[in-house]
Amino acid sequence: MMTLIDVAVVDRDKICFAIPARLDSTRVPRKMLMEFDGKPLIRHVFDEVSSWGYDTYVVTDSKEIAEVIPGSNVLATGRASNGTHRLSQIDWQYDYIINVQGDMLDIDFNTVEPLLKHIIYGIDFDVATLYTKGAKSDDVKVIHTNGNAHWFTRSDIGYGDRHLGVYAYRDYVLDVYQDLSDAYPQEDLEQNRLAVLDFHAIETTYNGTEINTETDINSRAM
C-alpha cells in the first residue's frame, strides 16, 4: 500500500496546489490578513501547504495579500466572483490543480492525502472534493451517493455530509468553468456549477477550524 511519504513525492510535475484569496470577504472582512499566533491567516495556510513538496501558489487580486507571500508563489488575477472563477483566470501548466481554501487554518497533509491518492491511483474524474461524515446545521453540506457529488447546500436540510473547501480540478475544467450553468442558483455556492461534471466526493478527516464567522475567530486565540 502506498504510504504518506510515497504520495507526497509522486507526480510533483503534474500537480500543483492553489490557494485563491481575496481581501474583501463578505462575512469576515480582511480575514486573510488576520493574525493567528503572530502570522496572517493566508500565510499559515500557504506555509503548511507548500511544505508538502508540490508547487504552491496564492492566487489573488490583492497587493496586500501578495506582500505576505513569497513573490514567486503569487499569481495575480482580476476580480473574481469566487475561488474557482479566480483560478480559471490562470493559464495552468499542470494536469491537476488542487484548490485549498485560505481560511482552513488547521489544514494538514492527512486531510488531503485521500484526494491525492485518488489522483495517483489513476481514478478518472473531472472534479473531486473532500467531505467528513455528518454535518452541523450551519455547515455547507454535500449530497452524494456512491462517491458522486450531486449538489451542495448551506440550508439545514437534516442530511448530507460536511463539505470541505478542497477541490481537485482536471486542467480543462477551469477552462470551461465560466460556461457551466448552475442548477441551484438559490444556494449561491460555486461548487454547484461544477455538479454537472463527473464530480467525486471523497471522505477524509478534518477536525480543525475554518475561519468563516466571528465565532470561528473567537474560538481561536489570535
CATH number at residue 179: 3.90.550.10
d(CA 202, CA 112): 10
| DSSP three-state, residue 165 | strand
CA dist list (Å): 165 to 9, 38, 64, 139, 162: 23, 24, 23, 11, 10
* Domains: count for the chain: 1
Q: Is the pLDDT of residue 1 over 60?
A: no
Residue 47 lies in a domain: yes
Residue 196 lies in a domain: yes
Residue 219 lies in a domain: no
Residue 140 lies in a domain: yes
Residue 212 lies in a domain: no
Residue 220 lies in a domain: no
What tens digit of pLDDT does each residue of 4-43 get?
556 555 677 899 999 999 998 766 788 999 999 899 999 9
What tens digit of pLDDT does each residue of 3-12 get?
555 655 567 7
161: containing domain:
4-207
